[in-house]
Structure 1
Amino acid sequence: MDLGISNKVALVTGAGGGLGGAIALALAREGAKVVLADINSAALESVADSVRKAGSEALCLEWNLGDLSVIDTRIGAIEARFGGVDILVNNTGGPPPTPASGQTADLWEKHFRSMVLSVIGITDRALPGMRVKRWGRVVTSASSGVVAPIPGLAISNALRMSLVGWSKTLAKEVGRDGITANLVVPGRIGTDRIRFLDEAKARREGRSVEEVSAESTGSIPLGRYGRPEEYAHAVTFLASEAASYVTGSVMRVDGGLIASV
């Protein structure tokens, strides 16, 4: 299937991580020009090398999403190089495991800026260019915690939940402009983040990481953690011309983990 995104310009935030890097590579393989944004410049260069080997152009932008003051200049650099953003993949890092109570206001505010306000600000800055072209894709990566809150991940559950309401509202506002907005929910995808969470849970409960991972895997109908490229394929579909009639949706990529309909 031709996904119709050859030569489209895709901005992927958090592109130095497991999910972001896989998404960037999947988009590149479909012919998109990929802008890679991450706070880790070394990780960016590694992903950019893979993107170029796939035959696509890559632009690396070192970007701390918590610094909202740089949004305009970063998008401006993309416009100067490629003429604007056609596909925006909002992918942010996760906060540390915490209970719901007893967290400082500073901690909540820090992660609200990097996980929510950055997504809103970057999208707002990219939308005018999409409207001019009457074509655009906004795909926001969240967490299975927005459907079934995950114990011990209170900040993630709460902040990512706010993006569900934002994305759904946005979809209605921009649909007549040829722009879609969708949210993707990963389950247990085998990345460094999931390994970190398994290790943290093992320490809290005095168990081995292997025991925790086995228990988690046992709750997944497919019997395994997902692969980053499997998640990336779903995101790439939503970013494509083939998904032109899909908007305002929440797509689960979780191996059947979430029990609710």
Structure 2
Amino acid sequence: MDLGIHGKIALVTASSRGLGRGCSEQLAAEGCRVAICSRDRAAAKQAAEEISKKSGTAVLGVAADMRKAEDIRRLLEDVREALGEPEILVTNAGGPPPGTYASTALEEYEKALNLTLMSAVHLIHGVTPAMKTNGWGRIIAITSISVKQPIGTLLLSNMARAGLTGFLKTIATELAPDGITVNALLPGTHKTSRIDQLAAFRADQEKKTPEAIIDEMMSANPSHTIGDPSDFGAAAAFLASVQARYLTGQNILVDGGNYRGLL
């Protein structure tokens, strides 16, 4: 299927690896001109080169820390200068550290909100003026299955991503008349470094090995496996497509059927 986005300018944040990388690779494969970022400049440049070589499309790699509003402003300037105004935005940020109410220090809450919620707010505020002018735009936020089914050991992530979900749902209605869609992709368990981090945390709590925790995650999933970032990226590419023009304000699970609720 031709998604109709060849030549579109796409910005994917926190994308040198993991789910962001999967989204970047799929958008580049569709012929988008992609900008990626990482806190590590060398990692961003290397990932950009690898994605470019694989897709045959030029990819821009930029250093930016999603915890810092100034970095986000500079990132957007760099993308505009090198490629033009982003027409597709995939917001992503490394998740807050795992923890429970008992183990989470009060000062960690604001950090989590800045990283997970406010980074997306700053990015969206930066790209929407041009999208409105052009009458076309795609905003896709990577959130989590936890916005539907909170995870006990991820208090900060549960809180911040739920807040982001409320923000996205609200602006989807406001931006729809301008031809801009706003959706969220909710990953379940995927093969990323984040899962390694969470498995290590649970292993320490439960006195098990990280490998045993990963096995439990796989066994608990109806598909008896965990997702691959490329699967997730394909879902993002579809949401960015011209065919998805009537799909907005949605929270779409990419979890192998792990979520058991009806809504």
* 2:208 corresponds to: 207
* 2:47 corresponds to: 47
What CA deviation, in whole Å up to 9, does each residue of 1:128-164 have, x standing for no partner? Answer: 0111111100000001111100111000011001111
Q: What is the rounded CA distance, in whole Å, between the counterparts of 2:90 and 2:65 in structure 1? A: 16
Q: 1:39 corresponds to which letter in structure 2?
A: R
The correspondence of residues 108-147 of structure 1 with structure 2, limited to 5 A, is: 108-147=109-148
1:103 shift after superposition: 2.9
Alignment check: 8 A CA contact 1:25 1:50 kept: no
1:70 shift after superposition: 3.2
1:69 shift after superposition: 2.2
> Gapped runs of 5+ residues in structure 2?
none
Q: What is the rounded CA distance, in whole Å, between the counterparts of 1:172 and 1:182 in structure 2? A: 11
Q: What is the rounded CA distance, in whole Å, between the counterparts of 1:208 and 1:59 in structure 2? A: 39
* 1:182 corresponds to: 183
1:109 shift after superposition: 1.0
Q: Is the partner of 1:88 in helix, strand or coil?
A: strand
Q: Is the partner of 1:78 in helix, strand or coil?
A: helix
Deviates more, 1:51-60 or 1:248-257: 51-60
% identity of equivalent residues: 34
Q: Is the partner of 2:221 in helix, strand or coil?
A: coil
* 2:61 corresponds to: 60
1:60 shift after superposition: 1.4
* 1:157 corresponds to: 158
1:108 shift after superposition: 1.0
Q: Is 2:214 aligned against 1:219?
A: no
Q: Is 2:249 aligned against 1:248?
A: yes
1:101 shift after superposition: 4.1
* 1:14 corresponds to: 14
Q: What is the rounded CA distance, in whole Å, between the counterparts of 1:71 and 1:201 in structure 2? A: 32
> Gapped runs of 5+ residues in structure 1?
none
Q: Is the partner of 2:120 in helix, strand or coil?
A: helix
Q: 1:183 corresponds to which letter in structure 2?
A: A
The correspondence of residues 218-237 of structure 1 with structure 2, limited to 5 A, is: 218-237=219-238
Q: What is the rounded CA distance, in whole Å, between the counterparts of 1:47 and 1:34 in structure 2? A: 12
Q: What is the rounded CA distance, in whole Å, between the counterparts of 1:66 and 1:103 in structure 2? A: 19
Aligned length: 261
Q: TM-score, normalised by structure 2?
A: 0.96
Q: What is the rounded CA distance, in whole Å, between the counterparts of 1:195 and 1:102 in structure 2? A: 20
Give the aligned CA root-mean-square deviation in angstroms.
Answer: 1.2
Q: Is 2:169 aligned against 1:168?
A: yes
